[in-house]
Structure 1
Amino acid sequence: MSGRIAVLIPCYNESVTVGKVVDDFRHVLPEADVYVYDNNSTDGTGEVASAYGAIVRREPRQGKGNVVRQMFRDIEADYYIMVDGDDTYPAEVAYELLAPLMDGSADMTVGDRLSNGSYGEENTRAFHGFGNDLVRWLIKVIYGFAFDDVMTGYRAFTRAFVKTMPVLSTGFQIETEISIHAVDRGWRVVDVPIEYRDRPEGSVSKLSTFGDGAKVLRAIASLCKDYRPFVFFGLLSLVFFAFGLAVGLPVVGEFCLTSHVTKVPTAVLAVGLICCGMLSLTAAVILDTVAKAHRKQWEMDVYRVIQERDRCR
């Protein structure tokens, strides 16, 4: 396979499993550089990874999003595989993830745990499946793209994708951010079904179902505001208009019948809500224009990265 390959493994207290993960990927992809970024582990994760032949670096800012941001900044390669260090994803399918990138049919591939049912069979944590389905549904409604698996930690990317990905998240919402970025920017995405296996005994998940779930939902709202401001503020405008009409129509009806307004505070509230709706609609139009300008600039950044890659070849 032509091109430099980097395997990115963000880790926090994964000493039980990281050695096997590094060993598996070095066996399957002997030509690849395997990087482990140790995120303040206290159980010797970095030392174990180094003993198994990984290139170990430290990231002091806590949170998976912070780790991924630094990985994307630091590491130079033509193709990237990102995988969790918990030994839940099979290294054997690495070539299947890379193939669509190398033949030019995809910019990001996603290790899909859900289509074949392996995630539901192995993962017994309550509400995780529901949360994944909810995020998939929200992305489909807002962006019109149906992912098979949004929250998977097993993905592969081209260099152009990685070097133009503005990572804003600090924690586990990074997978959602990457997925939304890929859809909004029109990257080609291919789902690759994989066999998921649950964590081995002694390995503990750091994911909080409700705490991190709430962060993911906030991230979706924030990214919608940034990437699709017309949708975000347009919906907000409709809410204000709806409440304004609900409050104001009885006042208008009373005035038409009696030529008097007895509920002055209600009338003021209705006017205020309608004004807020108009302001939100104005913000939607202005920010949509700004977002389109940013998207044009981003497209030029992608061209620059691709031209740099071609020159290096």
Structure 2
Amino acid sequence: MSVVVPTLNEERNIAWVLERMPACVGEVVIVDGFSNDRTIEVARATRPDVVVVNQRGQGKGAALRTGFETATGDYIVAIDADGSMEPAEIEYYVAALDIGYDLVKGSRHLRAAGSLDLTPVRRLGNSALVGAVNLMWGSQLSDLCYGFFGFRRTCLEQLALHARGFEIETELAVHAISSGMRIAEVPSVELLRHHGQSHLSAWRDGWSIFRLLARERLPVPARPLVDALDRRGLEAVGS
């Protein structure tokens, strides 16, 4: 199985994440958003077999899409690089995929789960978004805006992911629901980021998610995927 880790200036956090990967992880794909610190050097020193790729496009969604296309494992699990997610929990995702689920989402609202980092604003926003998705799609999700999840690689094309930013977690869920995939939630404890500041903006990214939900439900033509590429990535390809 493969684990995809999007990174941007996480040199103080990435070693903790890689050191705690369980034995079931056969491949770790680091998708770097052109970090200007030693993130990649630390990652390679900690786990020499990591696969490192530069993300195509801008934002977390673009980074994850790049990682998903690079990963070779039958199962793909996404985890953040900031130490806010316990890598040992990956075994729960693998177990759920093993018994037949197509998409497994981490939830901070199940028994034995929780969060040390949900501010009142984030908690309110997440509740509103979960309620909107459950109402519009008839689902019974308990959590939505959480980036710890896993799925079968064979489902990647069907998921048809286009999102550029943090809204990719919502896009993944609603596309899985619309496609009739078998979905499970597993308990997860969200920890505090170990070092540095989060790249998430509750208001900006929450608004992006609401716009995504509107696009998914309104009868508008599908928009083509257009990524804004970074010149550094193009230069790396040509070298």
Displacement of 1:86 in angstroms is: 1.1
In the comparison of the two structures, how many residue pairs are matched?
219
- What is the CA-CA distance between 1:10 and the residue it aligns to? 0.9
Name the structure 2 match of 1:112: 107
Q: Aligned with 2:159: secondary structure? A: coil
TM-score, scaled to structure 2: 0.85
- Counterpart in the other structure of 2:232: none
Q: Pick the aligned partner of 2:54 from 55, 58, 61.
A: 58
Specify which structure has the higher proportion of strand: 2
For 1:39 and 1:11, locate their aligned partners in 2 and report how far apart those are by CA, in whole Å. Answer: 6
How far off is 1:30 after superposition?
5.3
| Residue 77 (1) aligns with residue 77 (2) | no
Correspondence for 2:16 among 20, 23, 30: 20
- Between the aligned partners of 2:142 and 2:184, the Cα distance in structure 1 is 10
Q: Tell me, in whole angstroms, the C-alpha distance in 2 between the residues paired with 1:69 and 1:190.
A: 21
For 1:62 and 1:52, locate their aligned partners in 2 and report how far apart those are by CA, in whole Å: 26
Asked if structure 1 preserves the Cα contact closer than 8 Å seen for 2:82 and 2:193, the reply is yes
Larger Rg: 1
Question: Structure 1 length normalisation: TM-score?
Answer: 0.66
Quote the RMSD (CA, aligned, Å): 1.8
Task: Flag the 1:173–1:124 CA change in 2: closer, same or farther, 3 A.
Answer: closer
Higher helix share: 1
Of residues 155, 160, 166, the one that matches 1:161 is 155
The equivalent of 2:211 in structure 1 is 218
Mark the runs of 5 or more structure 1 residues left unpaired by the alignment: 234-286, 291-313
The SS at the match of 2:185 is strand
User: Equivalent of 1:39, from 1, 19, 33?
Assistant: 33
Q: Match for 2:13: what amino acid?
A: T
CA distance in 1, matches of 2:25, 2:178: 33
* 2:167 corresponds to: 173
Q: Which amino acid aligns with 2:108?
A: R
Q: Deviations over 1:40-98 (max 9, x none)?
A: 21222222212211222111522011111212222222111111111111122211111
Distance of 1:8 and 1:31 partners within structure 2: 11
**CA offsets per residue over residues 181-214 of structure 1, 9 Å max, x none?**
11111111111012221112x3210101111111
Partner residue, 2:99: 103
Structure 2: give runs of 5+ residues left out of the alignment. 223-239
Moved over 3 A (4+): none
Where 2:160 maps in the other structure, the secondary structure is: coil
Deviation at 1:165, TM superposition (A): 2.2
- Residue equivalent to 2:188: 194
